Amino acid sequence: MDSNSASRKASPSGSVKVNRENRKWGLSASDVVYHFGTSGMSVAAATAITHPLDVLKVRLQMQLVGQKGPLIGMGRLFVTVLKSEGPRFLYLGLTPALTRSVLYGGLRLGLYAPTKYVCELAFESTNVLVKIASGAFSGAFATALTNPVEVLKVRLQMNPNLRRGAIGEMRKIASEEGITALWKGVGPAMARAASLTASQLATYDESKRVKF
């Protein structure tokens, strides 16, 4: 019996052990940097195009805060604010929005593969639950780091008359409300990002394994 036949008849446990011992790190540092850069720039490009809709969303959510009264729709709000503030209002808070997009988009997608690899080594499994957990961690971690920029973006979107700029507004928030004010709403934001990233990336990853 030749060596190839003998290796084919080896016990499954021995085969798993050999494969585990021979397994090497599947991603290089350049791969991680590449994924971070391409993901971040892609999300930033999409943000630049859709930012006016985000401004309108925030204005709609914040209208009549603490009051009762008739709410207006997106079309009417757009016309009203455009007349009173001009086209500039459509891109209020763009700088922090782009900053967050590069960091958040790069982190949540760039960290997914390394996190999944570590989970596969730790749990010795490649099932879909590992991918869901990896996506949830990546999304939540990215949101926790970038929440201050999100808070800053919303403040700028709601205050068209600010002249101090993004850095000045961040200093004002930290000095008057405390540094923890930059993490307002981080809990729901992390839960949302974890759910979105887990469902998106796990579904995409699993779909690549389907053979038609």
Q: What are the tens digits of pLDDT across the range 76-104?
A: 989 988 998 888 889 999 999 999 999 99
Percentage of residues of the chain with pLDDT beyond 90: 41
* Position 7 in a domain: no
191 alpha carbon, distance to own chain's centre:
11
Region 36-53 average pLDDT:
89
Q: Indicate the residue type of 79.
A: V
**pLDDT tens profile 146-160:** 999 999 999 999 888
Q: What DSSP line would sit under the chain, residue for residue?
A: --HHHHHHTS-HHHHHHHHHHH---S--HHHHHHHHHHHHHHHHHHHHHHHHHHHHHHHHHHTTTT--S----HHHHHHHHHHHH-GGGGGTTHHHHHHHHHHHHHHHHHTHHHHHHHHHHHHT--SHHHHHHHHHHHHHHHHHHHHHHHHHHHHHHH-TT--SHHHHHHHHHHHHH-GGGGGTTHHHHHHHHHHHHHHHHHHHHHHTT---
CB neighbours of 146 closer than 8 A, spacing ≥ 6?
A: 100, 103, 104, 107
* Position 1 in a domain: no
* Position 35 in a domain: yes
Average pLDDT, the chain: 83
**What is the total count of domains within the chain?**
1
Question: For residues 103 and 108, what is the distance between their CA atoms, to the nearest angstrom?
Answer: 8
Instruction: State the pLDDT at residue 178.
Output: 94
* Position 21 in a domain: no
Say if pTM beats, i.e. exceeds, 0.95: no
Name residue, tokens 């960091």: 103
Q: Which of 67-71, 106-110, 146-150 is predicted most confidently?
A: 146-150
* Position 97 in a domain: yes
Instruction: State the pLDDT at residue 17.
Output: 40
* Position 67 in a domain: yes
Where in the sequence is the domain holding 186, given as residue range(s)? 27-207
Instruction: State the pLDDT at residue 29.
Output: 72
Question: For residues 105 and 142, what is the distance between their CA atoms, to the nearest angstrom?
Answer: 8
Residue of higher predicted confidence among 105 and 183:
183
Q: CATH number of the domain that 181 lies in?
A: 1.50.40.10
Name residue, tokens 């604010």: 81
Give the Cα-Cα-Cα angle 157, 176, 173 (nearest 5 degrees): 30
* Position 212 in a domain: no
* Position 17 in a domain: no
